[in-house]
Amino acid sequence: MTATEKLKKIYGERPKRTRELKEEGRKIAGYFCCFVPEEILSAFDLVPFRLQGNPKDPVDQADAFIEPMACPFARSCFNQALKGNYDFLDAFIAPHSCDTIDRLSNIWFHNRPVSFNHLLNVPHMRERGAEEFFRSELNYLVKCLEEWTGKKLVLEKLRETIRLSNKKRALLRNLYELRKKDPPPVSGAEMLEVLVAGMGIPVPEYVNLLTQYVEEVKSREVKSISLRPRLFLWGNAIDDSTFVQLVEHSGTWVVMDDLCTGSRSFWEDVPETSDPMEGLARRYLNVPCPRSNYPRTGHREVDLESRFGYVGAFVSSWKVGGAILYLIRYCDTCELEGPDLKDYLNKKGIPVLMLEDDYSLTTLGQLRTRVQAFVEMITGVV
Amino acid sequence: METKNQTKTTAVKGTLTAGMIRELVRNIYRSAHEAKAQGKKVAYFMVASQYDEIVRAMDIVPIPTENYAGLCAAKRDMERFLLRAEEDGYSQVLCSYARIGLGFDSLRKELGKIPENAPDGGMPEPDMMLGSSAVCDPRFKWYQAAGRYLNVPSYSIDVVAPPVQADLNEVRDYYIRYQTEQFRGLIAFLEEQTGKKLDEDRLWETIKLGDEAWRLWYEIDRLRVAVPCPMPTQDHFSIMVAGHYYCGTQVAVDFYRQLYEEVKSKVEEGQGVIPVEKYRLLYGGGLPPWHTLWIFNYFESFGAVFVIENVYRGYDPVEVPSYVKDPVEYLAWRAFLRFTQRHERARKNSGHPVVERLLQLIDDYKIDGVVFHACRSCRATTVGQIHIKNLLGRYTDIPMMQLVSDMVDLRDYSEAQWKAQIGGFIDALSARSKR
């Protein structure tokens, strides 16, 4: 079986591979969002499992525990837990990434507690002691994990897991680089599936698969020059490829993204500092999620450049002709960020479609109509 | 959802002193306009950010933007601001306080002046915006977004609270250290904006005033354990203005002294809110329905009085160790102690500090039923209510109900649905009282 086929299988059958690992005696640590360092979990021999929802499975049990005006992605994740689909978890670590995840963590701890339950506080600010505070929070997480596992953290092992996770990031960036080609050798939907496949298996296993996969992608024959518009996708948790497929089936390529399941989760390496916790704190605190604050640096144009300059670099380097901002309803921080990012991209001449959705597949028909209209509109300008 | 034009939005108050609040609210915006005219600094600010006393000590006139949204709702003049924000691209489920604020700023920018007939003269353009992560995420993101309409500097601080599971002895030092640094960052920013240094003696003065106001407020709530109830929840939603919007001033202290005397005298005279108090209710949580505060009087028509609430006065007085001699460190300590005051008890019992507080209130105030208000656009005060209700149900069998609307957006409110739900709730209270 090729790495391409293996990754496709892991994605399609997820979390089967994680269950197998559990049966093999591995301990599984579930976590939300991009703020829990997988390196720390790996250093304790835990399998990091990024919690996912299931937009194909309606939320039918969570209503008895959590309000419908909470993030539908978070509700879907908890619904999966209530159904026993996360019964393989040994540890559950929730970062205080936003109001909903914070509130949900308490609901989860009470109603589906696992052996180790922990809330990691993550500062919203990035200055005036924020990095030091986050480092202390990470040290406290380590202390709690040491008590739970009965094992002391070995710093050299942590350095090793950092190097390995950085290698994973380099491989993923390499894949994203290949998508600069036109047409790209990897579709946006396939890329997302490859990323999600790696969210529930040990990092060494994923690195091996990715190493092979990159070679397979490089050897793919890229056919004639594409005339399809190249799109950039922005948002938070898209962990199912259906929406990206819809966008690409509308006659586009999704070539770049800023999603918390996409580039946001791996773009920056962890610096190899003498105290590894320092590098981890710096890197994870600076994940560019809308839940974090960028201090205002000047008038509006300067401020927007400071906040979205990296997006500007993405769209220019990947020769993007249009952007879709996919907002999951009830995400206040994304809903406040979206209009600013739209302004920023519009000023760069990038047409933007801002969608608000409820993390289910019931709205696909409406989404398709809007995406198709957008594609028709930009086809005339790209 | 049904929408119906109501001319009356406010509730009949139980105390005379609460009636003074209307003038204090008017004064917030009048003072801000006057300060602008005199060249003083005015700032958009977020209440309960634990920095109130710093802002007052720097002689900055605060404009509480969330309060303005509530005021617009009470005046039923919110639609034009909500719709404007939505027209500008903000979602209809985004925090409606933020939508009103952004819509107001957008209109003011377009018109080049305060929108016509804006409630209480409207909000003047601030010199700066002071956000915080206390309470919810939109409270710093909102001001970042407001940069679309306002070319003024903004500064936000983190306000951190450890989770209930945390070992306080392990985390206390670094939580307080970070909070202190965050306050110092704010002070440096304010010094830069105002061109003057913070006077530490002045800060101690505002802290003493802030603490005294909150102590008096606590004492007033303790008087409210009396049967019959001397001051109902609808009064609380007015009188919280002093504790939050005038924190760190003599105005708040004087106001609560006067209110204390009135409530005390009502208790001594056995004077209740309604002639026959059949059911004593607890407002379990959620922001108030500012658009429909008369609903509290509707409950009273069934003999049900809201005697206490779990919102706005979120913590009881705390004692900061006497060795803390620096006023900024004092504020950080105070915040930490406030946020963790029920952690230890929760760890031993329900595992949830809010549940602990509610159980205490149910016991102390002889509560017959609990009502929560879920707001469609407020994650911070809404998500978790069902969970709290579920946990409470493990310790008490009193009836509980969750009403759903929004704090200001009337489109999320249905009078018919609420009245039907309230009817059923009253039946449940009645059935239980006959047991």
Which among A371, A316, A318 has a CA at the least distance from the CA of A345? A316
Peptide bond into B153 cis (omega under 30): no
Interface of B with A in 182-201 (CB under 8 A): 182, 184-185
Give CA B146 to chain center in angstroms: 22
pLDDT of amino acid B8? 64
What pLDDT digit, counting tens, does each position of B178-208 carry?
A: 999 999 999 999 999 999 999 999 999 999 9
pLDDT of amino acid B434? 86
Helices and strands (H and E) in chain B: how many: 17, 8
Instruction: Strand A322-328: give its sheet, edge to edge.
Output: A253-258, A230-235, A322-328, A352-357
Strands A230-235 and A322-328 turn out to be: parallel
Q: Which residue, among B156, B182, B383, B392, would best test binding to A if mutated, counting the most A CBs under 10 Å from its CB?
A: B383
CA atoms of B127 and B245, how far apart (whole Å): 18
Give CA B340 to chain center in angstroms: 19
Residue A341 CB neighbour total at 10 angstroms = 21
CB of A52 closer than 8 Å to CB of A77: yes
pLDDT of amino acid A382? 46
Interface of B with A in 136-165 (CB under 8 A): 136-138, 140-142, 144-145, 147-148, 151, 153-158, 160, 162-165
E runs forming strands in chain A: 27-31, 46-50, 91-95, 116-120, 230-235, 253-258, 322-328, 352-357
pLDDT of amino acid B5? 46
User: In whole angstroms, how far apart are CA B289 and each of A116, A295, B84, B400, B419?
Assistant: 39, 33, 21, 18, 14
Q: Residue with structure tokens 């609901």?
A: A107
Q: Which residue, among B86, B99, B109, B144, would best test binding to A if mutated, counting the most A CBs under 10 Å from its CB?
A: B144
pLDDT of amino acid B413? 95
What pLDDT digit, counting tens, does each position of B244-262 carry?
A: 999 999 999 999 999 999 9
A128 - beta bridge partners?
A: none
Q: Residue with structure tokens 């007939």?
A: B117
**Which ipTM was obtained for this model?**
0.96
B410 has a chain A CB within 8 A of its CB: no
What pLDDT digit, counting tens, does each position of B366-388 carry?
A: 999 999 999 999 999 999 999 99
Task: Give how far B308 is from chain A: nearest CA, Å.
Answer: 24
Residue A266 in 3-state DSSP? Answer: coil
Interface of B with A in 93-132 (CB under 8 A): 93-95, 98, 131
Q: Which residue, among B66, B93, B94, B97, would best test binding to A if mutated, counting the most A CBs under 10 Å from its CB?
A: B94
pLDDT of amino acid A146? 98
Please give the domain boundaries of chain A with CATH numbers for all domains. 23-153 (3.40.50.11890), 218-379 (3.40.50.11900)
pLDDT of amino acid B348? 96
Peptide bond into A15 cis (omega under 30): yes
CA atoms of B232 and B276, how far apart (whole Å): 14
CB of B274 closer than 8 Å to CB of B300: yes
Interchain contact, B379 vs A117, CB within 8 Å: no
Q: Provide the residue count of chain B.
A: 435
What pLDDT digit, counting tens, does each position of B2-36 carry?
A: 444 445 677 888 899 999 999 999 999 999 999 99
Helices and strands (H and E) in chain A: how many: 14, 8
CB of A236 closer than 8 Å to CB of A259: yes
Residue B395: DSSP 8-state: T
CA atoms of B53 and B66, how far apart (whole Å): 18
B131 - beta bridge partners?
A: B156
Token pair recorded at residue A15: 């979390």
Residue A255 in 3-state DSSP? Answer: strand
CB of A265 closer than 8 Å to CB of A169: no
B170 - beta bridge partners?
A: none
What pLDDT digit, counting tens, does each position of A44-58 carry?
A: 999 999 999 999 999
Residue B86's pLDDT band, with cuts at 50, 70 and 90, is very high
CA atoms of A284 and A212, how far apart (whole Å): 28
Residue A270 in 3-state DSSP? Answer: coil
Interchain contact, A103 vs B383, CB within 8 Å: yes
Interchain contact, B148 vs A98, CB within 8 Å: no
B208 has a chain A CB within 8 A of its CB: no
Token pair recorded at residue B278: 């059949």
Residues of chain A with pLDDT under 70: 224, 381-382
Q: Residue with structure tokens 């909000």?
A: B123
CB of A274 closer than 8 Å to CB of A251: no
Residue B412 in 3-state DSSP? Answer: helix
Q: CA-nearest residue of chain A to B380? A: A99
pLDDT of amino acid A295? 80
Task: Give how far A94 is from chain B: nearest CA, Å.
Answer: 11
Q: Tell me the average pLDDT across B227-238.
A: 97
CB of B97 closer than 8 Å to CB of B66: yes
First to last CA, chain A: 39
pLDDT of amino acid B7? 52
pLDDT of amino acid A269? 98
Pick from A65, A140, A333: CB nearest B387? A65
Interchain contact, A110 vs B351, CB within 8 Å: yes
